[in-house]
Amino acid sequence: MAAFRVVACSNSYLLASRLAEKLGAPLIPVERRWFPDGELYLRIRGEPGRDAVVVQSLWPRPSEALLELLMVAGTLREKGVDRLVAVVPYMAYMRQDSEFNPGEVVSARRVATLLDAAGFDLIVTVDMHLHRFSSPAELFKTPVANLTAAPLLAREALMMGAENPVIVGPDEEAEQWARAAAEAVGTEYTVFEKHRISPDEVEVRPRDPGVVKGRDAVIVDDIISTGGTVARAARRLLEAGARRVYVAVTHALLVQGALAKIHSSGVASLYATDTVETPFSTVTVSGMLAEKLGG
């Protein structure tokens, strides 16, 4: 796939540069600034050729990032790109996947419609947050490859010195990532479950609390936003006898004081992938993206 050229949008320059290196492809940056009235100015600083991969995470500033991706995609088609692939390492707007209250916009469907209209030949993403949909095909008409970083996160824990680890999903939705992580390193996993102890009180605890005693627990999840779920899980694991608790996440959004919550819960280490660029993004997904693209 040496014919590919990698177009780096503003939220994913680091990941795009790593992907270009693995593909042996030229890197084309997108210049972004604002007009005085607040409108977005974009310029593709190079010739995209006939086959292009445009890389843009939809975090931070997800609405602005989405608009940038769509505008760049349209421009690439106008410039004669025949095969256009979008790498959207973090796909925002997927958590509003149902109309919970009358009149609510189901953003997952609307964003899928916008990306379908952009005319990509393929969309590649990582650990898309699918709760009420079993696969991206229920949302998108465009082919979507939804890769998982869970094995990478589990292997990183071993490299960081986790001993006799057990993988933990912080809630039942996270079981898919906990299972994949555990299989990658040949260990066990457990998942936190909710147990109602009164009409107004719910307790959460690991499905198999004894499995963590005396072992290093590695919490694996797709997203950390406010950090409440992970912090609560970490405290319960330490109470259950875990030796140390690591937190490994694909998308580290870390909003509304998440870091303070996590560190105060007794977590030994927090790390994430570069789907979202933060100081904790020590695990790169560029290798598996390049493999998917044929590099």
For residues 139 and 98, give the distance between their C-alpha atoms in angstroms, rounded to a whole number: 12
For residues 52 and 176, give the distance between their C-alpha atoms in angstroms, rounded to a whole number: 32
For residues 222 and 93, give the distance between their C-alpha atoms in angstroms, rounded to a whole number: 14
Catalytic residue among 22, 79, 141, 194: 194
Look up 194 and say whether it is catalytic. Answer: yes
For residues 76 and 54, give the distance between their C-alpha atoms in angstroms, rounded to a whole number: 9
* DSSP single-letter state for residue 28: E
Q: Which helix or strand (DSSP H or E) is residue 156 part of?
A: helix 150-159
Structure tokens that stand for 221 in this block: 């999840």
Phi, psi of 125 (to 5 degrees): -135, 175
Q: How many residues are recorded in the chain? A: 295
Strands (E) in 9-128, as ranges, are 27-34, 40-44, 51-55, 83-88, 122-126
Residue 169 identity: G
Longest Cα–Cα distance of the chain, Å, equals 63
For residues 293 and 14, give the distance between their C-alpha atoms in angstroms, rounded to a whole number: 18
Under a CB-based contact definition with an 8 Å cutoff, are residues 46 and 26 in contact? yes
Residue numbers annotated as active site? 194
